[in-house]
Structure 1
Amino acid sequence: MQKRIIGFRVVDNKYTAEIIRDRILNIVKEYGIANHIISITLDNTTANTKTIKLLSNLVSSYTRGFLLHQRCACHIINIIIKSGMDVISVYIENIRSAIAYIHASNPRIAEFKRYCIAQRLKPRKF
């Protein structure tokens, strides 16, 4: 049984709208689905936005050239998380340093344990 893969991954060093368009069109032609596409999911690069403009008139004739560029939710979430991590990375490093300081000696660990008990908190390991 022959495997068929729907989709592609650009592996060339050139990541242009024209190359992406051509790869998508090859798949569309192979499967004969030009008149069945209303949306394509791509990430948010400029090349992908331009690709959608180039493809609009070539596929989805029944939608009169309208082609929705559905941006990849996972990619957007990844960008948001990376941005958030940039903001809090200083605080994370400070916490790591504090934990390393406490764990550097047994008396500090014991003092931390006494502090937790005095505050009615359960002493925890880091």
Structure 2
Amino acid sequence: MSLNTYQFDQVRVRNKLARMVIIHEYPLSIVDHIGFREFVADLQPMFKLVTRNTLKSDILKIYDNEREKVLKMTDKNGNRMTITIDTWTSSNKKRGFVYVPSPHTKDVLAEVLVDFFLEWNIDKKLSIITVDNCSTNDAIIRLLLNKLDISSLMLGGSMLHMRCAAHILNLIVQDVLSLIGDGTEMIRDSVIYWTGSPKRRQKFEENARQLRIQYTKELVLDCKTRWNSTYLILSTALIYKDVFPHLAKLETFYTYLPYDYD
């Protein structure tokens, strides 16, 4: 007769709980949720559910361990690194790769970047930093060149600054689009109106078919700062250019009809 023994590992399960929260971005307060606590208690009564502070501590330990692995890997790798930098405003003010406190001046941004490079031990491994083509980024790169060891950079740092080609192209196209800005706004407002509800979408599609226009593409709304999405809204609206005036005769509240030259 054999007897199977089971030894419960509290630390291992705590680690699994922390990784679950990291992977799925669950709130730390999940350990306070009644339903979750009842589920864990039934699943494994031997597990002592931790507080949110302990859970936070376990997550930070995982981060430190993973960071050490990355540092060892980069130390062994003799190649240089190319860095791409961008900033944005998040709904969660401290959510991001690196949180940057206000004010977001060139000096603050340059200081944050230097600290980041030093923290990850890549300040002497840099090859190129790619940034958007704006004057603030020009100033940041100049400050970085003063703060970094020039002798460790390629060609004394002359190759460090790379302006983002996609951003430059976007600026060029946005300048061109500004010439037809009024027409674009009318078309955009029309699309907003006819995609505002399922009922309006259906009415637009029905009228297109009545005019014997194949409804092969749905109207799409663009992101104003992305020229390729503006191209899509214009090219799609062009397919249905005869539908808009037809609907204007039927819909009293539709007041965004583009002119022919639009």
2: CA distance, partners of 1:9 / 1:103:
43
2: CA distance, partners of 1:37 / 1:59:
11
Larger RCO, structures 1/2 (Cα 8 Å, 6+ apart)? 1
Contact 1:38 1:60 (C-alpha < 8 Å) held by counterparts: no
Note the C-alpha offset of 1:14. 2.3
1: CA distance, partners of 2:87 / 2:248:
48
Structure 2 partner of 1:86: 178
**In the TM superposition, what are the counterparts of 1:1-126 in structure 2 within 5 Å?**
1-2=62-63, 9=87, 11-57=100-146, 58-62=148-152, 63=154, 64-92=156-184, 93=186, 99=242, 100-105=244-249
For normalisation by structure 2, the TM-score amounts to 0.33
1:67–1:24 CA distance, 2 compared to 1 (3 A): farther
Q: Can you give the 5+ residue segments of structure 1 that lack an aligned partner in the other structure?
A: 107-126
SS in 2 for 1:38: strand
User: Paired residues, what number?
Assistant: 104
Identity of aligned residues (%): 28
Note the C-alpha offset of 1:13. 4.4
Q: Can you give the 5+ residue segments of structure 2 that lack an aligned partner in the other structure?
A: 1-61, 68-82, 89-99, 188-236, 251-262
Per-residue Cα deviation, 1:4-28 (whole angstroms, up to 9, x for no partner): 6x96746544232211111110111
SS in 1 for 2:158: coil
1:65–1:74 CA distance, 2 compared to 1 (3 A): closer
Contact 1:34 1:60 (C-alpha < 8 Å) held by counterparts: no
SS in 1 for 2:104: coil
For normalisation by structure 1, the TM-score amounts to 0.60
Larger radius of gyration: 2
Note the C-alpha offset of 1:73. 2.6
Give the counterpart letter for 2:160 in structure 1: L
What CA RMSD, in Å, does the superposition of the two structures yield over aligned residues?
Answer: 3.2
Give the counterpart letter for 2:126 in structure 1: I
Give the counterpart letter for 1:35 in structure 2: K
SS in 2 for 1:35: coil
2: CA distance, partners of 1:49 / 1:88:
30
